[in-house]
Structure 1
Amino acid sequence: MSFPPDYVLDLVKEISEILIQRNETLSISEAACGGLLSAYLVSIPGASKFFQGGTLVYSLKSRLKLSGWDNKDISNYTGPSEQVVLRLARNLRIELGSTYVLSETGFAGPSITIFDKDQEPSCNDESGEEIKDEQSPGKVGTVYLGISGPRGEVSCIRHTNNDNRAENMQLFAQAGLRFLLDHMKQNQEEEEEEETKKEESNGNGIKKQKI
């Protein structure tokens, strides 16, 4: 079996090409994927040109030490959420100065736990071949994805509708890479549109001056 799988390799190659072409960088904050996202990214030659590194914050203690959390954050923590995943992305981007940070946290399965301040987060769930975009948080197969980048922050929830832990880890990572790639492409399109409008505006201004 090849690593990463071909469908993941295609995503990684496209992400790397965009980042290298634009001289941009990427970091990763992982939890439920267990380091799989980072492993996928560094599996291709030349990864050091765009990948700055990341964190694997699987316990509350690691978040306290590595992600800029304080005791109040730990006390208020009740489990994975979009707010949590954006906080992880934001803090890591501040620490490493990357152009983009992709973060994830979720329930890989086969069971989930509701946390209080004395409990540590557990990520659990499995997946099928198709990842669905739904809005029912807090169940096995749910992953929260966040991106902090030059044009702001975005997040989403994805569900695999499965309860196999290993498969969910792979599907979560795949969903994260797809989410990142789509976001980067959208940024590019918006920048190109803004540049076109700027050029058109400057051109109109020049014409008026000549008249």
Structure 2
Amino acid sequence: MTPHAEEGVALSERVIASLSARGETLGFCESLTAGLAAATVACVPGASAVLRGGLVTYATEVKAHFLRVPVAQLNKQGVVSAATALAMSQAALTEISSDWALSLTGVAGPGLQEGKPAGTVFIGLAHYDRGTGRVDAHAFEKHFSGDRAQVRQGAVEECLRLLLEALAK
């Protein structure tokens, strides 16, 4: 296991412990990372107590299906955007029936996508509050350097950090 992968597993252990203590669950909707975030969490013993599942929406048409929007609308707003990351996290809450959802969309590289450089990543974080029935969702823009693998691994680690910060509030 690479040092970066080990960091992802360490963050996953903290996520699982925190969500388990709260009796809450987690789901993913991943494009850029193609299931790497969910797989990183699943590497940890005890993950089944919190990990509900994930959607891998790598193709625009698949994103459009789960976001329930026409492909043309998704192309107009951009698949690599805060709006798409936000919608992806909310779709994961609905489709997976989890309390928390993380989404990742971006440009792994090496070239540009939608005019955005490699390393541009948008992370969505959504929470369904069982008590109020409200959904609170946020999107974050992040930038990573390195090759495709480093960008994807960095995005996974950052989404887990963002979730831990939200759980600590």
Shared fold (TM-score, shorter chain, > 0.5): yes
Counterpart of 2:28, as a letter, is I
Cα distance in 1 for partners of 2:162, 2:34 equals 18
RCO higher in structure (CA 8 A, sep ≥6): 2
Partner of 1:66: 66
Q: Is contact 2:74–2:84 with CA below 8 Å preserved after alignment?
A: no
Q: CA deviation at 1:41?
A: 0.6
For the aligned residue pairs, the C-alpha RMSD in angstroms reads 2.0
Partner of 1:79: 79
Q: Is contact 2:27–2:54 with CA below 8 Å preserved after alignment?
A: yes
**Structure 1, unaligned stretches of length 5 or more?**
116-137, 187-211
Counterpart of 1:181, as a letter, is L
1:3–1:45 Cα change, 3 Å: farther
Deviations 1:28-74 (A, max 9, x none): 01111121101101001121110000111111121133343334534
Q: CA deviation at 1:168?
A: 0.8
Q: Rg: which structure is higher?
A: 1
Q: CA deviation at 1:79?
A: 3.4
Partner of 1:139: 117
Q: CA deviation at 1:144?
A: 0.4
Aligned residues: 163
Name the TM-score, length of structure 1 as normaliser: 0.71
**Structure 2, unaligned stretches of length 5 or more?**
130-134
Q: Is contact 1:67–1:92 with CA below 8 Å preserved after alignment?
A: no
Counterpart of 1:159, as a letter, is H
Partner of 1:183: 166
Q: Do residues 109 (structure 1) and 115 (structure 2) align?
A: no
1:166 equivalent among 149, 152, 159? 149
Counterpart of 2:147, as a letter, is N
1:84–1:25 Cα change, 3 Å: same
Counterpart of 1:153, as a letter, is A
Counterpart of 1:28, as a letter, is F
Counterpart of 1:158, as a letter, is K
User: SS of the residue aligned with 1:102?
Assistant: strand
Cα distance in 2 for partners of 1:75, 1:154 equals 21
Where do residues 1-211 of structure 1 align in structure 2 (5 Å cutoff)? 1=1, 5-114=5-114, 138-149=116-127, 150=129, 152-160=136-144, 162-186=145-169
Name the TM-score, length of structure 2 as normaliser: 0.87
Cα distance in 1 for partners of 2:75, 2:104 equals 20
User: SS of the residue aligned with 2:87?
Assistant: helix
Deviations 1:178-203 (A, max 9, x none): 111111112xxxxxxxxxxxxxxxxx
Give percent identity, aligned residues only: 25
1:140–1:29 Cα change, 3 Å: same
Deviations 1:135-164 (A, max 9, x none): xxx22111101111036112211111x241
Q: Is contact 2:30–2:104 with CA below 8 Å preserved after alignment?
A: yes
